[in-house]
């Protein structure tokens, strides 16, 4: 038995992997693979339609927003956001709460002025800054809602008249959000939605074309919105597997139901980290991520033996990111509570043997 705590790409329920693999051989009894049917065929258009409508339903996307299924990963959005929203001479406000935020900042600087309103870099990103002001004339405010590498999450978004752009790559569909509070939400699909290769973008229609810049077609939100995300060949398999996963999520009771599970899973794991004398959590308690649980050992010499002990018990992917060290258990939507319990039992057993 393997328990996959890896940070990605693509952690999906077993039943979704099974249905997706069946469609590779025979999609909906067409006798053709999902990989070979035309992306312009009515069967595939129906896949796109259902995917878009399930995203709108599960995230409660209001009128006035377009849902786009793009490629290039969240990393391309670091570029597309300023290209589409940041006009000549304008300034965008950015919150620097981790490695992905700083990559977004680097790209935005290519297109205009960037005002980093706050940063937790000096504290190795162990907290999400809360004390900052967003200038009223900023073109937009950018934040990362979940810091995948450092294990912190932004639970309260600022109240501002400036459009909020959020990179939700690692917590999209894991908790309820109010889409109307945002100008743009984007996410690489590969944590809670589907396989890598697909990027979800939810963009407020009135923001399209806002920069006044001449844009290459592939980098223009409006082109993709006008073509229902079929301007060029889309990531057909990633879209189809995402659709299967969205159906799974809906059948489970949707985002509110999975959020409850995610709270239960993360509370249980953090409780063990706080209780067990061998472990500690490096992040500010109120900012602790429900998706990526980072922890270290009081005695760093025990880290290697614990990793080996956990691997022997089927734990996969718990080594912390190379820039942080320690451990990181990614507990995305698809990871059941029983896997979290297995990790907790492993930590308990290790402490009994090494206490
Ligand atoms: N933003 C966040 C929060 C991420 O976790 C990641 C990848 O893990 C990225 C951006 C980069 O995404 P991509 O690899 O899809 O470009």
Using pLDDT thresholds of 50, 70 and 90, give the confidence band for residue 225: very high
Count other Cβ atoms within 10 Å, centred on residue 284.
14
CATH code at 14-251: 3.40.640.10
| Residues 6 or more apart whose Cβ sits within 8 Å of residue 338 | none
CA of 9 to the centre of ligand 1 (A): 10
Q: Which helix (H) or strand (E) holds 345?
A: helix 337-354
Residue whose CA lies nearest to ligand 1 atom number 9: 74
Q: Report the chain's mean pLDDT, rounded to a whole number.
A: 96
Give yes or no for a contact between 186 and 168, defined as CB atoms under 8 angstroms apart: yes
pLDDT, residue 331, reads 97
- Enzyme catalytic residues: 100, 167, 191
pLDDT, residue 8, reads 80
Q: Is 100 in the pocket of ligand 1 (CB under 6 A)?
A: yes
Count other Cβ atoms within 10 Å, centred on residue 256.
10
| CA distances to 176, 177, 224 from 82, in Å | 26, 23, 17
Q: Is 73 in the pocket of ligand 1 (CB under 6 A)?
A: yes
| Beta-sheet strands, E only, within the chain | 3-4, 65-70, 91-96, 113-119, 141-144, 146-147, 152-153, 164-167, 184-188, 199-204, 279-280, 292-297, 315-316, 327-330
**195-198 long-range Cβ contacts below 8 angstroms, 24+ apart:** 195/9, 195/10, 195/12, 195/237, 195/238, 195/241, 195/242, 196/8, 196/9, 196/10, 196/73, 196/238, 197/71, 197/235, 197/237, 197/238, 198/69, 198/70, 198/71, 198/235, 198/238, 198/239, 198/242
Compute the distance between CA of residue 140 and CA of residue 91 in angstroms, rounded to an integer.
8
Q: Does residue 134 register a pLDDT over 90?
A: yes
pLDDT, residue 145, reads 98
Compute the distance between CA of residue 294 and CA of residue 318 in angstroms, rounded to an integer.
9
Extents of the domains making up the chain:
14-251, 254-354
CA of 71 to the centre of ligand 1 (A): 12
Residues 20-55 pLDDT 10s: 999 999 999 999 999 999 999 999 999 999 999 999
DSSP labels, 62-88: PTTEEEEEE-SHHHHHHHHHHHHH--T
Compute the distance between CA of residue 310 and CA of residue 351 in angstroms, rounded to an integer.
12
Q: Does residue 323 register a pLDDT over 90?
A: no
Please name which of 200, 218, 160, 195 lies closest in space to residue 52, comparing C-alpha atoms: 200
Tokens at 184, concatenated? 């743009």
Atom of ligand 1 nearest to the CA of 98: 3
pLDDT, residue 111, reads 95
170 is in an annotated binding site: no
Report the CATH architecture of 254-354.
Alpha-Beta Complex (3.90)
Q: Is 75 in the pocket of ligand 1 (CB under 6 A)?
A: yes
pTM reported for the whole predicted model: 0.97
CA of 354 to the centre of ligand 1 (A): 37
Atom of ligand 1 nearest to the CA of 190: 15
Q: Is 169 in the pocket of ligand 1 (CB under 6 A)?
A: yes
Q: Does residue 233 register a pLDDT over 90?
A: yes
Residues 258-315 pLDDT 10s: 999 999 999 999 999 999 999 999 999 999 999 999 999 999 999 999 999 999 999 9
66 is in an annotated binding site: no
CA of 238 to the centre of ligand 1 (A): 16
Tokens at 216, concatenated? 């290459």
Q: Is 192 in the pocket of ligand 1 (CB under 6 A)?
A: no
* Exposure b/e, 99-109, CB count within 10 A at least 16 = b: bbbbebbebbe
CA of 100 to the centre of ligand 1 (A): 7
Q: Is 270 in the pocket of ligand 1 (CB under 6 A)?
A: no
233 is in an annotated binding site: yes
R_g of the chain, CA atoms, integer Å? 21
Q: What is the mean pLDDT of residues 243-257?
A: 98
Using pLDDT thresholds of 50, 70 and 90, give the confidence band for residue 207: very high
Question: What angle is formed at CA 292 by the lines to CA 286 and CA 298, rounded to 5 degrees?
Answer: 75
Q: Is 297 in the pocket of ligand 1 (CB under 6 A)?
A: no
100 is in an annotated binding site: yes
Q: Does residue 9 register a pLDDT over 80?
A: yes
Percentage of the chain exceeding pLDDT 90: 95
74 is in an annotated binding site: yes
DSSP labels, 278-301: TEE--S-GGGB-SSEEEEEESSGG
Residues 66-123 pLDDT 10s: 999 999 999 999 999 999 999 989 999 999 999 999 999 999 999 999 999 999 999 9
Tokens at 91, concatenated? 């300034």
Would 14-251 and 254-354 be classified into the same CATH topology?
no
Please name which of 190, 195, 172 lies closest in space to residue 241, comparing C-alpha atoms: 195
Residue whose CA lies nearest to ligand 1 atom number 12: 74
């Amino acid at each position: 038995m393997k328990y996959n705590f890896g940070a990605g790409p693509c952690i999906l329920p077993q039943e979704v992997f099974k249905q997706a693999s069946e469609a590779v051989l025979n999609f909906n009894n067409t006798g053709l693979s999902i990989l070979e049917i035309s992306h312009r065929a009515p069967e595939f258009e129906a896949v796109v339609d259902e995917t878009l409508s399930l995203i709108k339903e599960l995230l409660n996307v209001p009128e006035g927003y377009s849902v786009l299924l793009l490629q290039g990963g969240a990393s391309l959005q670091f570029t597309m956001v300023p290209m589409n929203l940041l006009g000549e001479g304008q300034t965008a406000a950015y919150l620097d709460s981790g490695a992905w935020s700083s990559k977004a900042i680097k790209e935005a600087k290519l297109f205009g002025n960037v005002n980093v309103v706050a940063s937790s870099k000096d504290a190795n990103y162990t907290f999400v800054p809360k004390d900052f002001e967003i200038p009223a004339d900023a073109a937009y405010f950018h934040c990362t809602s979940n810091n995948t590498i450092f294990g912190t999450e932004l639970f309260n978004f600022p109240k501002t008249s400036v459009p909020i752009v959020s990179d939700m790559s690692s917590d999209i569909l894991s908790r309820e959000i109010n889409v109307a509070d945002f100008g743009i939400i984007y996410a690489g699909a590969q944590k809670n939605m589907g396989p890598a290769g697909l990027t979800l973008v939810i963009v407020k229609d009135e923001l399209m074309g806002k920069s006044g810049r001449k844009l290459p077609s592939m980098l223009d939100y409006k082109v993709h919105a006008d073509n229902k995300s079929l301007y060029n060949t889309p990531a057909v398999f990633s879209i189809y597997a995402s659709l299967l996963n969205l159906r799974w999520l809906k059948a489970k009771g949707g985002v509110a139901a999975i959020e409850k599970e995610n709270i239960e899973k993360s509370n249980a794991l953090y409780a063990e980290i706080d209780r067990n004398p061998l472990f500690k959590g490096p992040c500010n308690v109120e900012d602790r991520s429900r998706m990526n649980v980072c922890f270290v050992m009081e005695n760093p010499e025990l880290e290697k033996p614990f990793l080996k002990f956990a691997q022997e018990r089927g734990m996969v992917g718990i080594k912390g990111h190379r820039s942080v060290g320690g451990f990181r258990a990614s507990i995305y939507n698809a990871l059941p509570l029983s896997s979290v319990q297995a990790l907790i039992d492993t930590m308990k057993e290790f402490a009994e043997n090494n206490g």
